[in-house]
Structure 1
Amino acid sequence: MRAAVLHRTGQQTLDVRDDIEPVGFGPGRVRLRIRATGLCHSDVSAMTGVLPQPAPFVPGHEGAGEVLEVGDGVTAVAAGDRVLLCWLPACGGCAACRRGQGRLCPAGFRNVGTPNFRRSGGEPREIFGFAGSGTFTEEVVVDAGCAVPIPDDLPFDIAALIGCGVTTGLGAVLNTCRVEAGSSVAVLGCGGVGVSVVQGARAVGAAQILAVDPVESRRAAALRLGATEAVAPEVLGDARRRITAGEGFDYVFEVVGRSGTARAAYDAARRGGTVCLVGAGAADDQLRFGMLELLFDEKRILPSVYGGGDVLRTYERAIALWRAGRVDLAGLITHRVPLDGINDAIGQLRTGAGLRTCIEL
């Protein structure tokens, strides 16, 4: 089958090959035919080494498609079912799951160090899948808990985005922060996840939603999808003074994953406000605060992993909001490419062009 492979961490482009096959099928596992997958900035971060991932590997973790076959003991899905891929499934029985924090379940990463693919000839033969999945491919084998059934009216391209970016952005609003109606919101970083935050803030009735991004096309997209105003980062301070009378925003979302942007998010929030860290950054990128400011500002700093709530429930809420017309998920897809176009899409992502690229297989 065909798949896009990164041979060494730090390489700029992927090798689209036709000699790859999925491995690991057996009890408790399912084999999926991927029909659509999203290109997320986390995939590029894994390619560069910002996010840890053994190589060689197949990137991709936002996917949707059909079940081809199921292993012994699998009852939740059957061959022919339409599913999206959950890259961080919860086991349901560990301490984190029992506390209702399934997105922190360590079992979700248990397959990261196990090869998902192999080459039918040549070296190296063993190939990993990003985050234990790897969706830049025609087929993949994953744990049964990764295959989540979707309704027939949900297109594969939208389902793929719900599998990560949409859930991460909407969930940060709905679950992590529980943004209140009538509040003021600023979103720093307006790619696919950031604009999902914007749409979530609009859906819950935020009064002011400021989109902040250095790329004009992304600012325009944020305005189209629910922001009340959009500015470049260098004028964030002016916008804060004008929109909030200098007090600061009730909620500020950092959706970049850099300490400098996180510090700007903290400074843009009002005293007693909430700073939500959504972007995935490097392990050695340190964020500093003064102990006095932390105490007297009393700002809440809330990291949000994969939407910060029950992932399956957030999927359901995203689908419900999409059906009701409260969020425009198709509007997040600004580019559509076949697998052979993946390197051009990566180049566009690096320049900040567009929101989400859908790879159709």
Structure 2
Amino acid sequence: MSTTSAAADGPRTTRAVVYDPSTGETRLRTLTIAAPRADQVLVRVVSSGVCHSDLHIVDGDWPTDAPLVLGHEGAGIVEAVGPDVRDVRVGDHVVLSWFAPCRRCEACAAGRAWLCTNTKAVSNTLPDGSTPLSDENGDPVLPFLGVGAFSEYAVVPETAAIPVDANVPFNVGALVGCAVTTGVGAAVHTAKVQPGESAVVIGCGGVGQAVVLGLRLVGAHPIIAVDLSPERLESARELGATHTLRGDDPELTAKIHEITAGAHHAFEAIGRPATIESLPGLLRAGGQAVLVGMTAIGTKVSIDPFDLADQGKSILGCNYGSSVPAVDFPRLAALHQSGRLPLDRLVGTEGTLADIHRAFTDLRTGVGLRTILHP
């Protein structure tokens, strides 16, 4: 039986970063958050990472017609649970998952939770279609991807609160919630990279750096990191890249072929049409391109189908690193604790929720590593 704290008895206020599509403003607001019901969990958020997906909302790439509490990459401590919660307890340290699976559809039953067809996360609601958040007028405010991590508190379904070892730092746990799981999973699960296979990573932000870590973990060689930022390229080299190249080098493709004779794997971790289109040209016959970065909705790219068919190349889509959070979050946290995944080295600037605009500016300009915010 679950343990429920007195905090579950009623609503409370929470300071949160809210994007309002009617005004285009992103600002801190004080909202009301309901107590957890049924299989819901109330989490006091300690750390949250700033991801490009949040920026896609603010920049209008992913339209929304309702105010959203931004943030989906978070970690914190469980303060209360609903009466139907079975596996999460008050006091647990948890990492939040932004794609809460139903555990009942065909994909979930097959162990492919990242393809769940019943999740309501992409509708920015809890599984029952509700939101725990409301503004000063009582009007609903939605949690981005069912999480809303840029807040002092979040109410999420039990399937989105994954317990991890209490010794895992919260800033590291936050990154496990999105960037790390997506990037490491892209190499390990989606691409299934084998030891000694060559790989190129285009874009060395938070997710791209995690791809590099995943490639090193499985023994890929060589590992080529591509970016425009000298700081990010140096970080990629420290994390395991054997070669670093600038993305604006006019000889980029030729240099990659010189190093690899055509890569076995090429990962795009930006979501930029031009770099996506370049991927097949970086591959050897039989190689595969992996689309990790998310584009604006409706983006189209041009690919030469003859090259793909003639050379046996393939293009793979990667959602959440083809990972199962309930299984992979604790594994990734344990690998960090063992020293095999130095996830703390992915943490960049840390600040408070009030620093959200600076964090978005850094994302737009490709500056630094992952920004972590604390309420």
Deviates more, 1:133-142 or 1:281-290: 281-290
**Structure 1 length as normaliser, TM-score?**
0.94
1:3 corresponds, among 11, 16, 33, to 16
Q: Over aligned residues, Cα RMSD in angstroms?
A: 1.7
- Relative distance call for 1:264 and 1:43 in structure 2 (3 A) is same
Residue 242 (str. 1) matches residue 255 (str. 2): no
1:152 corresponds, among 166, 171, 174, to 166
- Relative distance call for 1:9 and 1:116 in structure 2 (3 A) is farther
CA contact (8 A) 1:184 1:250 kept: yes
1:213 corresponds, among 211, 227, 241, to 227
2:212 corresponds, among 179, 198, 213, to 198
State the alpha-carbon separation in 2 of the partners of residues 300 and 316 from structure 1: 31
Give the letter aligned to residue 158 of structure 2: A
Deviations 1:324-344 (A, max 9, x none): 212211111110001121211
Deviations 1:174-207 (A, max 9, x none): 1111111111110011000000000111111112
State the alpha-carbon separation in 1 of the partners of residues 21 and 191 from structure 2: 38
Unaligned runs of 5+ in 1: none
Deviations 1:124-181 (A, max 9, x none): 8321111111010001111111111111111111111101110000001111111111
- Relative distance call for 1:183 and 1:9 in structure 2 (3 A) is farther
SS across alignment from 1:108: coil
**Structure 2 length as normaliser, TM-score?**
0.90
State the alpha-carbon separation in 2 of the partners of residues 77 and 229 from structure 1: 43
- What corresponds to 1:66 in structure 2? 77
2:332 corresponds, among 318, 323, 335, to 318
CA contact (8 A) 1:10 1:47 kept: no
Deviation at 1:354, TM superposition (A): 1.0
1:93 corresponds, among 104, 109, 112, to 104
Give the letter aligned to residue 72 of structure 2: H
State the alpha-carbon separation in 2 of the partners of residues 295 and 10 from structure 1: 47
SS across alignment from 1:51: coil
Deviation at 1:261, TM superposition (A): 1.1
Deviation at 1:6, TM superposition (A): 1.0
1:138 corresponds, among 152, 162, 178, to 152
Give the letter aligned to residue 38 of structure 2: P
1:31-180 pair list within 5 angstroms: 31-109=42-120, 112-113=124-125, 114-119=130-135, 121-122=136-137, 125-180=139-194
Give the letter aligned to residue 248 of structure 2: E
CA contact (8 A) 1:54 1:128 kept: no
- Relative distance call for 1:87 and 1:298 in structure 2 (3 A) is same
Q: Tell me the number of residue pairs that the alignment of Structure 1 and Structure 2 aligns.
A: 355
Give the letter aligned to residue 112 of structure 1: N
Give the letter aligned to residue 118 of structure 2: A
Give the letter aligned to residue 253 of structure 2: G
Deviations 1:210-247 (A, max 9, x none): 11112222112111211111111133213213202xx3
- What corresponds to 1:185 in structure 2? 199
- What corresponds to 1:348 in structure 2? 362
- What corresponds to 1:303 in structure 2? 317
Deviation at 1:295, TM superposition (A): 1.1
Deviation at 1:321, TM superposition (A): 2.1
SS across alignment from 2:248: helix
Unaligned runs of 5+ in 2: 1-13
Please identify runs of 4+ aligned residues in structure 1 that moved more than 3 A. 113-116
